[in-house]
């Protein structure tokens, strides 16, 4: 059972890609398949980001240890889908015109938030290996990877601004991210209080 966890999670993370590939081939993505593809890749990345952020709370509150074992995998796949999402934007929306992309990013906060999220995730994906953990030292590595909290916040607002009016679903996802971050904030505050007491 224990051995099967990581391969099973890996397979599950591949399913959205297979699903989208299949739908694209079958013409199942509607009249605007590019928009559907871009939205779904972004949505998948967002859900994986939320799952990554849920691993530590699951351990602390529910006593589950297994999510921590697939956290790196979830984070890597989050970056993978976020990169495909960005690629559809850069290639299909902007035709690889870097000038147009730069203007778009700087001029529109919706685009800026998406790009900023990806740029924050980039160093985390690069340093997600054990080798980089050793090279940076665990404390520094851990501090660096706290950037994911900011990425979660920015991604939430990027998702919210995707639609002309806020959607209930998006608000629910923002709430989920907020709760996951709040759990950490409360935990950190408690630990600090305990340290003050004991010193």
Partner 1 sequence: MRRSDVTPKSVYLRRREFLKLGAGSALALSLPAYARAKVEHGPKLAGVTVNPAFALPEEKKNSFEDITTYNNFYELGTDKSDPSENAAKLQTRPWTLSVEGEVGKPKKWDIEEILKAFPVEERVYRLRCVEAWSMVIPWDGFPLADFLKKHEPTSRAKYVAFETVVQAQMPGVKGFAGIPFPYVEGLRIDEATHPLTLLAVGLYGETLPNQDGAPIRLVVPWKYGFKSAKSLVRIRLQETQPPTTWSQYAPGEYGFYANVNPEVDHPRWTQSRERRIGELLRRKTTMFNGYPEVASLYAGMDLRKFY
Binding site for partner 1 (CB under 8 A): 12-13, 15-16, 18-20, 22-23, 26, 28-36, 39-40, 43-44, 47-48, 92-95, 103-104, 107-111, 161, 163-168
CB-based contacts of 17-21 (< 8 A; 24+ apart in sequence): 17/81, 17/84
CB atoms within 10 A of CB 113: 20
Give whichever of 104 and 187 is closer to partner 1, judged by the CB atom. Answer: 104
For the bound state, the minimum distance from the C-beta of residue 19 to partner 1, rounded and expressed in Å, comes to 4
Give whichever of 118 and 173 is closer to partner 1, judged by the CB atom. Answer: 173
For the bound state, the minimum distance from the C-beta of residue 87 to partner 1, rounded and expressed in Å, comes to 14
Give whichever of 36 and 136 is closer to partner 1, judged by the CB atom. Answer: 36
For the bound state, the minimum distance from the C-beta of residue 147 to partner 1, rounded and expressed in Å, comes to 24
The CA distance from 104 to 125, in Å, is 25
Give Dmax (Cα) for the chain: 65
The CA distance from 45 to 74, in Å, is 9
Closest to 155 measured CA to CA, from 76, 72, 87, 78:
78
For the bound state, the minimum distance from the C-beta of residue 188 to partner 1, rounded and expressed in Å, comes to 30
Give whichever of 57 and 114 is closer to partner 1, judged by the CB atom. Answer: 114
CB atoms within 10 A of CB 199: 5
């Amino acid at each position: 059972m224990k051995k099967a966890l990581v391969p099973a999670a890996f397979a599950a993370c591949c399913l959205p890609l297979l699903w989208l590939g299949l739908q694209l081939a079958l013409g199942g993505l509607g009249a605007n398949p590019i928009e559907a593809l871009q939205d779904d890749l972004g949505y998948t990345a967002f859900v994986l980001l939320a799952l990554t952020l849920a691993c530590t709370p699951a351990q602390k509150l529910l006593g589950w240890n297994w999510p921590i074992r697939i956290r790196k995998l979830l984070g890597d796949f989050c970056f993978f889908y976020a990169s495909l999402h960005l690629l559809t934007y850069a290639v299909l929306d902007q035709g690889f015109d870097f000038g147009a992309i730069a203007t778009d990013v700087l001029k529109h906060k919706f685009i800026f938030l998406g790009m900023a999220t990806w740029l924050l995730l980039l160093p985390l994906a690069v340093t997600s290996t054990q080798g980089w953990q050793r090279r940076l030292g665990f404390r520094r590595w851990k501090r660096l990877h706290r950037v994911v909290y900011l990425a979660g916040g920015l991604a939430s607002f990027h998702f919210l601004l995707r639609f002309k009016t806020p959607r209930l679903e998006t608000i629910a996802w923002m709430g989920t991210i907020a709760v996951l971050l709040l759990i950490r904030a409360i935990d950190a505050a408690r630990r600090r209080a305990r340290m003050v007491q004991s010193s």
